[in-house]
Amino acid sequence: MEKRITVLGGDGIGPEVMTQAIKVLDAVGLRFGHTFHYDYQLIGGAAIEETGHPLPDETTASCTESDAVLLGAIGHPKYSDPTLKIRPEQGLLAIRKELGLYCNVRPVTAYSGLLDMSPLKNERIKGVDFVIYRELIGGIYFGESGRSEDGKYAFDKCEYYDHEIERIVRKSFEEAKNRRSHVTLVDKANVLESSRLWREVFDKVSAEYPKVETDYLYIDNACMQMILNPRRFDVVVTSNIFGDIISDEGSVIAGSLGLLPSASIGEHFSLFEPVHGSWPEGAGFDIANPFAMVLSAAMMLQHFGLFEEAEAVKQAVNTCIEQDYLTADLNTIASKSCSEVGSYLSALLTAKTLA
């Protein structure tokens, strides 16, 4: 199999963790007989520095001509002033909109070898394995917003059409069929009219999946349950802003943001990126955790239908965890560098034997 992949290293540690993901993909190609062609493009702060725009036309064109997109991270303190008209994050929002990436998929897994890394008690998180389906190109982040001339009034509009809700809700039910057959809708239907529409659409789709169990949780209760009893979750579906909140909260379960991958899927295009940010303070020191980026690449392989290959990558990550071959965020005593971990993952895959 041959695939063309647009590679967007982005800012901060993005290029460093991306390098390790490419090592892993090359190892997969060698082991399983695939060829991956990489087209490196700019996005975010790096793109602003080079072109003055967070999402150059060349980047968008490459993404639309590729089979998938890999993204490292976006953001830099240089652009932290919210009053700036051009900021790196605009590139991320724009690429999601340009490619129609309405469905963000974020797995949350508690690795048995890393339970002690979580601030939560082992007995609460052992065996946790759920996935969040977050609507990505609608809601309050993309609605009309503004400020009064005197700066004393501001507004952000949250709006959804029923078809925007239905397409991601349907994906969440399809996923549940392949898991433990349970979908939880997270909303705020006691207050928000948009959430009441989410419930109406959710119930309509639910009727088509009689074997899938369902329930609802208000966002505040969902956040509490994610800490008190995260094993109750299987598939979670929710709006853009609520998904943003609970998916980052899920990092507490894993013990590190460096463990959480994600996929953003549309009708025609797909993008895969780690949940963690750009961590500019750690850039250039070869200390970043590459697991989330590598696992995002594994999600891409699965999207291609390369299930055995994706499982091999995940098993290589598990082997690193079991052997304590980890970066400093997970092993403070005998830590490995970002590039060492990437090379070890590559070696495990090319050796065709996973300990």
List the chain domain ranges: 1-101+266-355, 110-129+161-255
Question: 109: which strand partners?
Answer: 129
Q: Which CATH number fits domain 110-129+161-255: 3.40.50, 3.30.1760, 2.30.29, 1.10.10?
A: 3.40.50
Which token pair is 193? 């009219």
- Per the annotation, the verdict on 188 as an active-site residue is yes
DSSP string, 269-309: -EEEEESS---GGGTTTT----HHHHHHHHHHHHHTT-HHH
Round to whole Å and give the CA distance between 300 and 313: 11
Q: Supply the pLDDT for residue 353.
A: 47
Q: Which of 156, 162, 203, 220 is catalytic?
A: 220
Which token pair is 275? 């949940």
Round to whole Å and give the CA distance between 158 and 148: 18
Homologous superfamily (CATH) for 1-101+266-355: Isopropylmalate Dehydrogenase (3.40.718.10)
Q: Supply the pLDDT for residue 354.
A: 46
Q: Let me know: does 36 contact 305? Beta carbons within 8 Å.
A: no
Q: Which of 26, 38, 129, 141 is catalytic?
A: 141
Token pair 């190109």: residue: 137
pLDDT in tens, the chain (355 residues): 999 999 999 999 999 999 999 999 999 999 999 999 999 999 999 999 999 999 999 999 999 999 999 999 999 888 888 778 899 999 999 999 999 999 999 999 999 889 988 889 999 999 999 999 999 999 999 899 999 999 999 999 999 999 999 999 999 999 999 999 999 999 999 999 999 999 999 999 999 999 999 999 999 999 999 999 999 999 999 999 999 999 888 888 988 888 999 999 999 999 999 999 999 999 999 999 999 999 999 999 999 999 999 999 999 999 999 999 999 999 989 999 999 999 999 999 998 644 4
- Per the annotation, the verdict on 67 as an active-site residue is no
- Per the annotation, the verdict on 156 as an active-site residue is no
Length in residues, the chain = 355
Q: Which of 244, 314, 329, 344 is catalytic?
A: 244
Is 110-129+161-255 the same fold as 1-101+266-355?
no
Contacts of 303 by beta carbon, 8 Å cutoff, 6+ apart: 68, 263, 265, 270, 272
Q: Which of 26, 39, 248, 324 is catalytic?
A: 248
| Closest among 333, 263, 330, 334 to 301, alpha carbons compared | 263
Token pair 């495990």: residue: 348
Q: Supply the pLDDT for residue 257.
A: 81
Contacts of 57 by beta carbon, 8 Å cutoff, 6+ apart: none
Contacts of 132 by beta carbon, 8 Å cutoff, 6+ apart: 104, 105, 106, 107, 108, 236, 237, 238, 243, 246, 247, 250
Q: pTM above 0.95?
A: no
Q: Which of 3, 171, 188, 314 is catalytic?
A: 188
97-113: burial string, b at 16+ Cβ within 10 Å, e else: ebbebbbbbbbbbbbee
- Per the annotation, the verdict on 116 as an active-site residue is no
Instruction: Check the CA dihedral 91-77-238-154 and report its sign.
Output: negative
- Per the annotation, the verdict on 220 as an active-site residue is yes
